């Protein structure tokens, strides 16, 4: 992050990335705010204690100022994604996927929230959900901080507490962009979209106060399906997947879990039957190649649900996790002032599902403005397999470096020595320089020098554009810039 201490709003941009024209055109305002020392209100202090202004740099995003501190790690390149909102773009596969799933959670039982702002407090994203202080999700290597109290939401669950407090309907969905510092490969991107869903019942309102009975009755109203789902574990397991025994009876948790699983299985059936029907209607011989659909429930852990599960779909030889869910922790309802409610919640990755649904091979494609990609998607009714328009050649290059030895005093506080080195920092530097021209980055070698104890890493960077053939000069220049940036930002020594 480059901050200019000029005392007025400054504008800057970053290197242009091929194909992402709208991004190159975007500007982020970085404002430098002057703060005054607080004036004493004591009567005897006649003279104001006004001192020369203290310079306090701040980030301006969507007209709001966020002070900058030691925690700030969000680069301008990431902030530039905020206006994109793929889940709202008409005819975008992320948006179509959202609408198909929403259709399974109809109003008025469910309210659909699609416009919640991505900048949230640490309290919303983590504290309100009971994340322990040492949870890895809180670390600066995993999460984008605007400052120590403010983050780009890492999941749509960040809004659960406020919507429970709002208490508008028995259920809701939230679709939104979420941000995580992560690896670079064909299924990971630092920005993606999730849909959160929740359903609750009110102890005071169900017939005879019998929640379990009311939930089973509602379950009967869900559309039937004949998909066989593997679900080998008991709903409740005392160690691995415990009942919230102080709040729920076994019958209540069983009923809520059954309603949750049936609702989500309905989503999977809906998505894949649309894909299959569309393929069949188009006379596509591949109609059955989309399937056979194999789906299974596995036990999981989330700080804000118990018991918890993940739903996995078998796709191209692997089990792929598409959603997490569980019985909502009662503390969330209690803290939101609705202690008599109980129910379930889930979070589903929209790109993951869209990749399955349309056979989209690379997550970078969702961000493409290339009409050869975008024109292939039209309506909910017409889901068809994505036809790759071309596969341009890849070019990989290696970079090897030594970390600073931990005793070295050279370099600034953010420089990487053996203790604070995190792979996600390498990923981000590569992403910042290469943008969507980088397909993946893999660690290919790692060793510690036997005498000096210094650590060495080698990463292989695969450069490939989705839209054209890169020239040699271009790739060499990119790689050179990556190498320079690694030295500059991480203080590594190239080998
Ligand atoms: N927020 C979780 C995630 O991002 C998913 C989740 C949502 C799990 C709601 C349980 C309940 O992984």
Average of pLDDT values for 125-140?
A: 97
pLDDT of residue 416: 62
Ligand 1 geometric centre to CA of 59 (Å): 29
Atom of ligand 1 nearest to the CA of 325: 10
Pairing of strands 32-35, 455-463: unpaired
Mean pLDDT over each residue of the chain, to the nearest integer: 85
Atom of ligand 1 nearest to the CA of 328: 11
Residues with beta carbon inside 6 Å of ligand 1?
155, 157, 196, 302, 305, 324-326, 345-347
Ligand 1 geometric centre to CA of 314 (Å): 20
Evaluated on CA atoms 326, 331, 336, 342, the torsion sign reads positive
Residue whose CB lies within 8 A of the most ligand 1 atoms, among 347, 348, 351, 352, for a mutation test: 347
pLDDT of residue 22: 25
User: How far from the centroid of its chain's Cα atoms is residue 166's Cα?
Assistant: 24
Cα gap 320→391, rounded to integer Å: 24
Choose the weakest-confidence range: 5-9, 33-37, 294-298, 463-467.
Answer: 5-9
Atom of ligand 1 nearest to the CA of 324: 8
470, 397 contact by CB (below 8 A): no
Confidence of residue 13 (pLDDT cuts 50, 70, 90): very low
Give the pTM.
0.84
pLDDT of residue 292: 64
Residue 160 in this model has a pLDDT that exceeds 60: yes
List the residue whose alpha carbon is closest to atom 7 of ligand 1.
Answer: 347
492, 404 contact by CB (below 8 A): yes
Average of pLDDT values for 115-120?
A: 98
Ligand 1 geometric centre to CA of 155 (Å): 7
pLDDT of residue 320: 87
Q: What is the pLDDT of residues 306-349, one digit of tens each?
A: 999 999 998 778 898 999 999 999 999 999 999 999 999 999 99
Average of pLDDT values for 416-425?
A: 80
Task: Please compute, for residue 38, the number of CA atoms within 13 A of its CA located in the half-sphere on the CB side.
Answer: 3
User: What are the distances in angstroms from CA 303 to CA 223, 326, 331, 337?
Assistant: 30, 10, 11, 19
Ligand 1 geometric centre to CA of 339 (Å): 21
Q: What is the pLDDT of residues 259-277, one digit of tens each?
A: 999 999 999 998 888 877 7
Percent of the chain with pLDDT over 90: 72
Pairing of strands 110-113, 171-179: parallel
What is the DSSP annotation of 367-399? G---HHHHTT---SS----------PPPEEEEE
């Amino acid at each position: 992050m480059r901050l200019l201490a000029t005392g007025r709003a400054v504008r800057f941009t970053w290197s242009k990335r091929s194909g992402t024209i709208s991004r190159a055109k975007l500007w982020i305002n970085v404002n430098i705010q002057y703060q005054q020392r607080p004036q004493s209100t004591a009567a005897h202090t006649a003279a104001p204690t006004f001192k020369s202004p203290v310079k306090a740099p701040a980030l301006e995003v969507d007209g709001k100022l966020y002070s900058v501190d030691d925690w700030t790690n969000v680069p301008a390149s990431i902030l530039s994604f905020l206006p994109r909102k793929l889940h709202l773009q008409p005819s975008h596969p992320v948006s179509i996927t959202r609408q198909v799933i929403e259709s399974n959670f109809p109003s008025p039982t469910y309210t659909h929230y699609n416009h919640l702002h991505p900048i949230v407090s640490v309290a919303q994203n983590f504290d309100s959900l009971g994340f322990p202080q040492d949870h890895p999700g809180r670390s600066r290597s995993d999460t984008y901080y605007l400052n120590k109290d403010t983050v780009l939401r890492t999941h749509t669950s960040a809004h659960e507490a406020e919507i429970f407090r709002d208490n508008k309907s028995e259920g809701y969905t939230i679709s939104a962009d979420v941000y995580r510092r992560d690896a670079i490969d064909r299924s990971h991107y630092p920005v993606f979209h999730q849909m959160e869903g929740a359903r609750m019942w009110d102890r005071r309102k169900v017939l005879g106060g019998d929640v379990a009975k009311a939930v089973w009755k509602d379950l009967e109203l869900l559309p039937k399906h004949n998909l066989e789902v593997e679900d080998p574990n008991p709903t409740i397991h005392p160690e691995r997947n415990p009942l919230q025994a102080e709040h729920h009876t076994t019958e209540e948790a069983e009923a809520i879990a059954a309603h949750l699983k049936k609702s989500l299985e309905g989503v999977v059936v809906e998505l894949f039957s649309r894909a299959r029907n569309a393929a069949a209607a188009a006379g596509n011989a591949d109609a059955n190649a989309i399937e056979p659909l194999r789906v299974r429930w596995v036990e999981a852990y989330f700080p804000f649900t118990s018991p918890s599960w993940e739903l996995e779909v078998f796709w191209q030889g692997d089990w792929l996790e598409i959603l997490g869910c569980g019985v909502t922790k009662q503390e969330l309802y209690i803290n939101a002032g609705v202690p008599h409610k109980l129910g379930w919640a889930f979070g589903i990755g929209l790109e993951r599902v869209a990749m399955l649904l349309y056979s989209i091979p690379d997550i970078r494609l969702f961000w493409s403005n290339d009409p050869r990609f975008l024109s292939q998607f039209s309506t909910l009714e017409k889901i068809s397999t994505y036809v790759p328009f071309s596969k341009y050649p890849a070019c990989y290059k290696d970079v090897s470096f030594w970390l600073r030895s931990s005793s070295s005093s050279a370099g600034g506080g953010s420089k990487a020595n053996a203790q604070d080195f995190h792979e996600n920092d390498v990923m981000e530097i590569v992403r910042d320089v290469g943008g969507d021209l980088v397909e993946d980055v893999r660690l290919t070698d790692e060793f510690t020098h036997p005498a000096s104890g210094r650590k060495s890493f080698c990463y292989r960077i695969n450069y490939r554009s989705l839209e054209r053939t890169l020239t040699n000069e271009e790739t060499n220049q990119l790689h050179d810039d990556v190498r320079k940036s690694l030295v500059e930002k991480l203080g590594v020594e190239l080998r």
